[in-house]
Structure 1
């Protein structure tokens, strides 16, 4: 049982036709302000994506309100816990896409790519192949700076700077992965909803998405086959396989991830600069 003063961090998304997002935005903002919640909610014609934090009762009240809309009645939520509010403000934004890929023909609402759950994936990685005997290859769909905080062992990392680069990059490497089972993954699963569909569309014959992403994997099987932590977009910066906040920070100035060792540098001034800033100036 969590202490009454523990902050509940929730992450959730759903791809569903949401053509009244503009009209609903004020209601989302008003309720979150009333409940004292902070974080970010993205509303789009293709659905909703949210990261919120608050005390237990307000979070439960928000979820009850959200699920009263039949479109979001079955939305799945991932929870983690922290001893203080990890967000500084409450934002409700309107976006063209809840995860930007710039490919309007990719519509997860119309049908998902196959998914693999955490326990099955761990078993595949333990044995070195899937249930059909194919070698399993992990593919990280996140941005390069997120991957640097932690990822699965021997993962494919194409060093993308933004998700809209992913489609072209993954098409270039299709032939290298023939005859293998590719499992795409990201923080919470949302990027892979589009990534795996695109890969199927361009001819990958055995591709899966990790159900629930890294956070669900941590929750169900811990850190097996994973190295490092998982970057998250809030004050905590990174979570370890126990879903606990780590000492990793993010530089306010250049947005680079700053490890505990790098925080010992005289160039690390919280809120002002870090060794990465110094390196960029010298170059």
Structure 2
């Protein structure tokens, strides 16, 4: 029987009370016997948390009572066992490290494309303006090796801080193309899309909700393989079931690693 509800969510929003917010979130999560990782930074919140469905509902109600998180969108999946060993709430400089301080998603995000629209474009081979669609994977190389969109561009980066340099090296290849950046849950491709717009690529969109939202809404169409996740499930199939069991050696439960989306 499936008992554990896993949620992934992030939001870029100004947070000035990180220490107080950290204590409030940690206290509630421990009270509800939840496990996972929450990162807080001046730019927003990023979380992967798992537990009993009723406890997750109460945890989300607490978060959404804060006006900053009232519209927090959550991606859900289920597992037979708890995929995390402990509950961590950390204060960080960035909720996803890019080392590019000029990128401030809370000040304005790049346009996005919904999963169902993207599937239709991929079905027909072009967007609604007739422009070919190019998929750009913003994840680390080993994640891509678990699965990715068919014919996606993969620059074989080993960490997200390498993305700005890779973009500079390949900028001319993306000009005059409809580029859709994607990642696991949306956070990396959101920063990537903003950077690409700033680098003079106006036709860049981010996949709303990332691969996990795409799986949730349309399944695995135009996607080959699984989606690596940074917890004990290791990877999720397009039906959001865990493909493997046990903690992967590639997925240590470190808050800087286990929270990528």
| 1:130 and 2:127 matched | yes
Give me the whole-angstrom Cα distance separating, in 2, the residues matched to 1:145 and 1:256: 11
Please give the secondary structure, in 2, of the residue aligned with 1:139. Answer: strand
CA contact (8 A) 2:231 2:251 kept: no
Q: CA RMSD in A?
A: 1.4
Once the two structures are superposed, residues 65-119 of structure 1 have per-residue CA deviations (whole angstroms, 9 ceiling, x without a partner) of: 0011111011001110011111111111110000001111111111111100011
Q: Which residue of 2 aligns with 1:139?
A: 136
Q: State the secondary structure of the residue aligned to 2:63.
A: helix
Distance 1:47 1:240 in 2: 29
Structure 1 pair 179/107, CA: closer, same or farther in 2 (3 Å)?
A: same
Alignment of 1:70-81 (within 5 A): 70-81=67-78
- On the 8 A contact 2:234/2:248 being kept in 1, the answer is no
Equivalent residue for 2:197? 200
1:205 positional shift: 2.4
Aligned length: 252
Q: Which residue of 2 aligns with 1:19?
A: 16
> Which of 24, 33, 51 lines up with 2:30 in the alignment?
33
SS at match of 1:102: coil
Normalising by the residue count of structure 1, what TM-score does the alignment of the two structures yield? 0.86
Instruction: Specify every segment of 5 or more residues in structure 2 that has no aligned partner in the other structure, as ranges.
Output: 253-261
Aligned to 2:92: 95
Q: For the pair shown, which has the larger CA radius of gyration, 1 or 2?
A: 1
Question: Aligned partners of 2:118, 2:245: CA distance in 1, in Å?
Answer: 27
Contact 2:10 2:187 in 1 (8 A): yes
TM normalised by structure 2 equals: 0.93
CA shift, 1:179, in A, is 1.7
| Unmatched 5+ stretches in structure 1 | 258-283
- Say if 2:162 is the partner of 1:165: yes
Distance 1:68 1:197 in 2: 29
